[in-house]
Chain A
Amino acid sequence: MASAVMNMITAALDWVTVIFDAPLARAVVFGVHIDGHLVVEVLLVAVILFQLTRKSYKPPKKPLTEKEIDDLCEEWVPEPLHPPITEEMKAEPPILESAAGPHTVIDGKEVVNFASANYLGLLGNEKIADSCISSLEKYGVGSCGPRGFYGTIDVHLDCETRIAKFMGTPDSILYSYGISTIFSVIPAFCKKGDIIVVDEGVHWGVQNGLYLSRSTVVYFKHNDMASLESTLEKLTRENKRAEKIRRYIVVEAIYQNSGQIAPLNEIVRLKEKYRFRVILDESHSFGVLGNSGRGLAEYYGVPIEKIDIITAGMGNALATDGGFCTGSVRVVDHQRLSSSGYVFSASLPPYLASAAISAVNYLEDNPSVLTQLRSNIDLLWKGLSDIPGLAIASHPLSPIVYLKLKKSTGSSKSDLELLNVITDRVLKEDSVFIVSTKRSVLDKCRLPVGIRLFVSAGHSETDIHKVCDSLRRVAALVLV
């Protein structure tokens, strides 16, 4: 078989050679010796040129007529803007009728309030109220303009200097709302192509900032330093270009989704080893941790210069509103033009800035309020250690005391329903106000839900005993 094919091929080849060597092929035109292969090549070129001059084949595309577009538009039906409203969506939170201090009035009854993050008990403080009133009378309520266009009032600049002095950093910058601080700071420093390593339990503000920054985001297990180390190792080992791009670790000092405290000394060690920068959100630890309330760095004894960017919302310990960001001069200066929440928004109302200054002054003059807060947290821990069905899941020093279900029902939704039953009964029957976790549909955090208690330095021992007894009683009824 093979030899027959070979014979056919040799025969064909001989035939071709004969044609090539035909006498016609020996013609000489214009002094050029025409060989047979020249004829074939000329023919090939002619065919190619012929094909190039043909129009390329496109399948005929009929554009839609106006009538057809009209019909399509008629047919299209949008979804409603809101999903179907269920009964649980109609639930309204309790309405306060007085200041949200350690005791407040709901529905005409006085209740013990463990739902406001009033850690230092500064809500209703006389000195702060006085400074607010004098500020209101001088400056009015709003500042009527962004910081760049006559919205910078001298109290803002004073507040920035005061906070920087208190924290021990060169400068700080004030934002007009707590949650907008972190989601404006992150996109100002992280752009497309940068790497951000972030804890999976961060709150929505941080998640939004990460999304807006368009950087590469890598999550590590909640508060797990081994997971952080392995993530950092993997990122720097694989990426040879890692030196040239900016790399950040984003953590919260006290996580509001779980009450855990980030081990800053470990994080700083890892940051220096792998050359990352740290962005620390101290919303719940500013004015709480450390001997004088300067936050996580003071608590761990880490020099403040080692943390590159610190942000905090002032709506918790300082009992006002707004937020600040502090760091080196370069960090703060850069935000004045490129942080969208600072440039494109009206500035903080001046009376809130004066309240912040008074609160910081109070904290510096009365560090005993921190010891009071700490002893209240200890007392609460002791009281809550034997609640049937609930276990404490937060750090012993965290002012957010987080109670988780010992045995989950299986889904977050039903867990939350059960916890809401407990909090409603505790409020109605024992006049104690506590809250459960609230999760938005847009929130990516998957940490377990629980009951949150916010301890304040203004709570008395009786208040703490009351909440423990009440929880013990209701949990026994509902959970067992």
Chain B
Amino acid sequence: MTLRLLLPPLPAIPPVAVPREVRRMVRLTYLTALTTFFGYILLIAFGVLRDLVRKLLDWFKSDDLKGYAPICPPFEDFYTRRIYHRIQDCFGRPIASAADAWIDVVERHSNDNDKTLRRTSNTSRCLNLGSYNYLGFAAGDRYCTPRVVESLKKYASGTCSARADAGTTKLHIELEELVARFVGKPAAITFGMGYVTNSSIIPALVGEEGLIVSDSFNHNSIINGARASGATVQVFRHNSPSHLEEVLREQIVKGQPGAHTPWKKILVIVEGIYSMEGEFCKLPEIVAICKKYKAYVYLDEAHSIGAVGKSGRGVCELLGVDPADVDIMMGTFTKSFGSCGGYIAASEEIIQHLKHGCPAHLYATSMSPPAVQQAISAIKVVLGEDGSNRGAKKLARIRESSNYFRSELKKMGFVVLGDNDSPVMAIMLYNLAKLPAFSRACLRQNVAVVIVGYPATPVLLARARICISASHTREDLIKGLKVISEVGGLVGAKCLPAEPEKAKKMD
């Protein structure tokens, strides 16, 4: 019984280094980094100790695996068992209503220290600052819902078939034409899930002899799609066009690994709004660089389509980029349009190629007709084709609300990430213990917020993320600000000096 057998294997050390520009952006001081580090080390030490004790206690228990390797090796889910389970009640909170501005959060209680949580029948009405409901289509809408119900009666709740077989209805064709017109590209193709869109389109576009250059903060679906394609993947520093240019120059000269033959094609993948930071990508510079080096641009507008831009057409409209310069525009209907599914808009030939060869189009069940109708109606409202100006009003309201909320938070002294006009913003908390404290204290005061830590964000940069919706009224925002200010003060998240209130100074 050597000591090595006794000690459980330690978890893999996650990458801790934070690049200098990011550090400057998030105002990470040495003291904060050290204290956060200390917090992690303490938690890991206690976790290892508990694992040791568990191993000792189980030493004499019979092994009921009978020759199988354990399905989840103990070190793989160390983070889940010893760190995540302590704050499990802050994630996955069930709701009993639509994801509108106010939601009914179901209360849960636990008998075994948060290891398992049971639903109760009590709910509490909370202000919803966490759902992706940018234009307020999550709950019933007076234009969309009657049409959705009608389409359900006409086309049933599903098609039970892939698009290439019997899953194409008139609604699907209408949606594709509408999306192409909305985004400003010749043609479009839709899928039933945004995640699958990325994971199955990227392999159909780039094969093994191609290069994919992707932003370091890209979403998991893009990473999976890039890996599934078999192409070489290079990462460039987040939102840094100069580093992108460096990488492109180096790679074109170097060629493919091994034989150094030139690359067949290069695809640069960026996102419109990065959902964890709330900032826009530097699209004009990146498109200019890609044009110069003849690389193709793939823009993932999951969070920005319908939410930014004067008429809701996304980052291209906001930053003044011609849609013809972006080769492939991808987006989802989940966030701004209150439906589900994703789309790709590109030239006619690319769409025809995808319709012929993309696995998701040929094998996956097509989008459910009521969801298609919801997307069609929502886009029509945004375009103003429903006969009212509700779309323009929603867009103006979300822009005003986000800017107001962000400026107020900054005035209070929080470190807030997110560009102007972006409906997503993040309040930096850094320290792992502040996350559950913030979340639980806000919930007690009936405000529902979302907290994110490792692995969705870098280890030292845990944060609370706010998503503003067009259905939030000014009173809702003021209440939200009041609660966040109070809780943030208690938790110690106000790292910057607050601006003194001018009214008080006048006295």
Residues of A within 8 A of B (CB): 64, 69, 72-73, 76-83, 85, 88-90, 92-101, 104, 113, 115-118, 123-124, 128-129, 132-133, 136-145, 147-154, 156-157, 176-180, 183, 189, 191, 203-205, 208, 211-212, 243-247, 275, 277, 308, 313, 315-316, 319-321, 330-331, 334, 336-338, 340-341, 343-346, 348-349, 351-352, 355, 433, 435, 438-443, 454
Contact with A along B321-353 (1 / 0, CB 8 A): 000000110001111011110000010011011
Whole-angstrom distance between the Cβ of A422 and the nearest chain B Cβ = 15
B391 adjacent to chain A (CB < 8 Å): no
Contacts of A77 in B (CB 8 A): 294
Q: In the bound complex, what is the Cα–Cα distance between A243 and B65 (angstroms)?
A: 11
Q: In the bound complex, what is the Cα–Cα distance between A463 and B330 (angstroms)?
A: 42
In the complex, residue of chain B having the shortest beta-carbon distance to the beta carbon of A148:
B91
Q: Is the CB of A137 within 8 A of B161?
A: no
Whole-angstrom distance between the Cβ of A149 and the nearest chain B Cβ = 5
B163 adjacent to chain A (CB < 8 Å): yes
Q: Is the CB of B220 within 8 A of A73?
A: no
Contacts of B353 in A (CB 8 A): 81-83, 85, 89
Contact sample, A vs B, 7 pairs, CB 8 Å cutoff: A72-B252, A82-B205, A100-B167, A152-B93, A153-B96, A439-B362, A440-B357
When A150-B448, A245-B69, A346-B340 are in contact, do A129 and B352 touch as well, CB less than 8 Å?
no
Q: Is the CB of B155 within 8 A of A98?
A: yes
Chain A binding surface SS class: loop
In the complex, residue of chain A having the shortest beta-carbon distance to the beta carbon of B452:
A149
Other-chain contact of B94, A116, A140, A154, A334 (Cβ < 8 Å):
A154
Q: Is the CB of B168 within 8 A of A89?
A: no
Q: Is the CB of A95 within 8 A of B170?
A: yes
Please give me the 9 A-B residue pairs with the lowest Cβ-Cβ distance, nearest first.
A315-B365, A115-B166, A82-B353, A177-B193, A99-B156, A179-B364, A144-B99, A345-B195, A141-B374
Q: Is the CB of A244 within 8 A of B152?
A: no
B363 adjacent to chain A (CB < 8 Å): yes
Q: Is the CB of A315 within 8 A of B374?
A: no
- Give residues 381-422 of B contacting A (CB, 8 Å): none
Other-chain contact of B294, A78, A97, A144 (Cβ < 8 Å):
A78
Contacts of B181 in A (CB 8 A): none
Q: Is the CB of A154 within 8 A of B357?
A: no
In the complex, residue of chain B having the shortest beta-carbon distance to the beta carbon of A345:
B195
Q: Is the CB of B364 within 8 A of A142?
A: no
Whole-angstrom distance between the Cβ of A115 and the nearest chain B Cβ = 4
Whole-angstrom distance between the Cβ of B304 and the nearest chain A Cβ = 16
Other-chain contact of A355, B157, B173, B358, B450 (Cβ < 8 Å):
B157
Q: In the bound complex, what is the Cα–Cα distance between A82 and B350 (angstroms)?
A: 6
Q: In the bound complex, what is the Cα–Cα distance between A76 and B266 (angstroms)?
A: 11
B95 adjacent to chain A (CB < 8 Å): yes
In the complex, residue of chain A having the shortest beta-carbon distance to the beta carbon of B364:
A179
Q: Is the CB of A440 within 8 A of B359?
A: yes
Given A123-B156, A143-B99, A212-B224, 7 other A-B contacts at CB below 8 A? A69-B249, A115-B165, A137-B149, A150-B99, A315-B365, A351-B157, A440-B204
Contacts of A99 in B (CB 8 A): 154-156
Q: In the bound complex, what is the Cα–Cα distance between A320 and B157 (angstroms)?
A: 6
Other-chain contact of A89, B68, B154, B352 (Cβ < 8 Å):
B352
In the complex, residue of chain A having the shortest beta-carbon distance to the beta carbon of B66:
A275
Q: In the bound complex, what is the Cα–Cα distance between A334 and B72 (angstroms)?
A: 8
When A95-B173, A97-B170, A319-B158 are in contact, do A157 and B119 touch as well, CB less than 8 Å?
yes
In the complex, residue of chain B having the shortest beta-carbon distance to the beta carbon of A111:
B166
Q: Is the CB of B157 within 8 A of A152?
A: no
Whole-angstrom distance between the Cβ of B149 and the nearest chain A Cβ = 6
In the complex, residue of chain B having the shortest beta-carbon distance to the beta carbon of A272:
B66
Q: In the bound complex, what is the Cα–Cα distance between A153 and B96 (angstroms)?
A: 6
Whole-angstrom distance between the Cβ of B119 and the nearest chain A Cβ = 7
B500 adjacent to chain A (CB < 8 Å): no
Q: Is the CB of A145 within 8 A of B94?
A: no
Whole-angstrom distance between the Cβ of B78 and the nearest chain A Cβ = 12
When A78-B264, A442-B359 are in contact, do A152 and B94 touch as well, CB less than 8 Å?
yes
Q: Is the CB of B203 within 8 A of A313?
A: no
Other-chain contact of A150, B67, B93, B333 (Cβ < 8 Å):
B93
Q: In the bound complex, what is the Cα–Cα distance between A320 and B94 (angstroms)?
A: 22
Whole-angstrom distance between the Cβ of B170 and the nearest chain A Cβ = 6
Contacts of B327 in A (CB 8 A): 81
In the complex, residue of chain A having the shortest beta-carbon distance to the beta carbon of B105:
A150
Q: Is the CB of B294 within 8 A of A319?
A: no
Q: Is the CB of B158 within 8 A of A144?
A: no
Whole-angstrom distance between the Cβ of A164 and the nearest chain B Cβ = 15
B219 adjacent to chain A (CB < 8 Å): yes
Q: Is the CB of B352 within 8 A of A205?
A: no
Contacts of A454 in B (CB 8 A): 160-161
Contacts of A331 in B (CB 8 A): 71
B370 adjacent to chain A (CB < 8 Å): yes
Q: Is the CB of A89 within 8 A of B356?
A: yes
Whole-angstrom distance between the Cβ of B47 and the nearest chain A Cβ = 15
Q: Is the CB of A438 within 8 A of B84?
A: no
Other-chain contact of B84, A69, A178, A179, A337 (Cβ < 8 Å):
A337
Whole-angstrom distance between the Cβ of B324 and the nearest chain A Cβ = 14
Other-chain contact of B160, A100, A132, A440 (Cβ < 8 Å):
A100
When A78-B266, A85-B349, A441-B357 are in contact, do A69 and B160 touch as well, CB less than 8 Å?
no
Contact with A along B98-124 (1 / 0, CB 8 A): 111001011000000000000100000
* Interface-facing stretch out of B16-24, B31-39, B129-137: B129-137
Q: In the bound complex, what is the Cα–Cα distance between A209 and B335 (angstroms)?
A: 27
Other-chain contact of A81, B68, B69, B76, B350 (Cβ < 8 Å):
B350
Q: In the bound complex, what is the Cα–Cα distance between A147 and B67 (angstroms)?
A: 35
Whole-angstrom distance between the Cβ of A335 and the nearest chain B Cβ = 10
Q: Is the CB of A142 within 8 A of B338?
A: yes
Other-chain contact of B363, A89, A205, A345 (Cβ < 8 Å):
A205
Q: In the bound complex, what is the Cα–Cα distance between A39 and B403 (angstroms)?
A: 86
- Give residues 284-315 of B contacting A (CB, 8 Å): 292-296
Q: Is the CB of B265 within 8 A of A151?
A: no
When A79-B264, A345-B221, A441-B204 are in contact, do A140 and B338 touch as well, CB less than 8 Å?
yes
Query: Which of A89, A98, A442 counts the most B-chain CB atoms under 10 A from its CB?
Result: A442
Q: In the bound complex, what is the Cα–Cα distance between A203 and B359 (angstroms)?
A: 10
Contacts of B72 in A (CB 8 A): 189, 330, 334
In the complex, residue of chain B having the shortest beta-carbon distance to the beta carbon of A257:
B363
